[in-house]
Amino acid sequence: MKKFIGLFLSLALACSSFAQMSGYSSSQSDGTALGANLTSNADGISLSNAVKLRGYIQTTFSHIDSDGDVNPTDIDASADLDFLVNLSPVTAEVHLNPSATGGQGTILEQAFARYSFSQDFHLTFGKQVTVLGFDGDEAPDLYAVTTAFRDVRKDYVEGFRLNYNNGFLGLVFGIHDTYGLAASPSNQPDLDDGMAIDLAASIMFFPGLEAQLGFANENGPSGQKEDTQRFNGWVSWNPGDLTLAFEFDNIDYYNNEDELGIMLMANYQFSDFLGATFRYAHLNRDSEDVNRITLAALLSLSENLGINFEYSHTSSDEDENEFYIEGLITY
């Protein structure tokens, strides 16, 4: 752990010095987003001088065929409301999912405040989305209808986080109540108390080429000596209309189970109207290997209206064919 933290600090000092010589600034739109203040200049509907509203409405038709057992078509509708407050140097965000019920998610996804000590250095505290993983936590940020394995790797956790971003380099260090890691696939403990930390660094080598490396540690359940740890890294290259990405993810659970995943993705924007995604994901959970191939077509009918199509094939102990049609309205 000490060596890992030392590596991050050394990287921060070296890259921060290089960034100052290179003239990078966190205000650049082509810089890395990790640790940046994305509230102040965010787009949205102005409700007042200090408050903006943004969000989306999503309707998804899904059909899954599992080894010949055809599941009926399912229709799922959801909405997202994000309130952004800018009272510089204090900013805040509240993210609501009014459609969430019971086990289908949480109505209050995020609620955090940020104090900016400078243009580059910030403290955030409250309920925030975790930072590890390439896939975004909201539908408009995805390159397909689903995430790599249909289960969003990001979670919403409570705590505080130190953030640094100068455009070229992003760094975060957080302390949270949980990180969503302690429960392994075969053992789902009820955590009464615990603590988790995360560290992540991202570098924008030049506009279009970005890499991120992160680590998280979460206390195991009461009575367990071992913790659960996660290493995640990804690299993304965006030369114009093409986006290529590679991600690796490794989780060592407290009960000696482990999980290793990789993802390869290519997305091409043929025009303002049409984009397409090919994605391959592999997940190894002890003795089980899961392979998933995804093809998606993304249609932008207007700046705020899109229709997305996805076909995914999953091969494991049981093969699945998945079909999705998604209507997405953003505002």
With helix as H, strand as E and coil as C, how does the chain read?
CHHHHHHHHHHHHHHHHHHHHHCCCCCCCCCCCCCCCCCCCCCCEECCCCEEEEEEEEEEEEEEEECCEECCCEEEEEEEEEEEEEECCEEEEEEECCCCCHHHCCCEEEEEEEEECCCCEEEEEEEEECCCCCCCCCHHHCCCCCCCCCCCCCCEEEEEEEEEECCCEEEEEEEECCCCCCCECCECCCCCCCCEEEEEEEEEEECCEEEEEEEEEECCCCCCCCCEEEEEEEEEECCCCEEEEEEEEEEECCCCCEEEEEEEEEEEECCCCEEEEEEEEEEEECCEEEEEEEEEEEEECCCCEEEEEEEEEEECCCCEEEEEEEEEEEC
- At residue 258 the predicted structure's pLDDT band, cuts being 50, 70 and 90, is confident
pLDDT in tens, 88-128: 999 999 999 887 654 456 789 999 999 999 999 999 999 99
pLDDT, one tens digit per residue, over 166-212 is 999 999 999 998 887 755 455 544 444 568 999 999 999 999 999 99
Render pLDDT for 187-196 as a digit per residue (tens, 0 to 9): 544 444 568 9
Q: Is pTM, for the whole model, over 0.85?
A: no
Instruction: Give residue 22's pLDDT band: very low, low, confident or very high (50, 70, 90).
Output: very low
Which pLDDT does position 239 carry in this prediction? 93
- In the chain the domains, ranked by start, together with CATH numbers, are 2-330 (2.40.160.10)
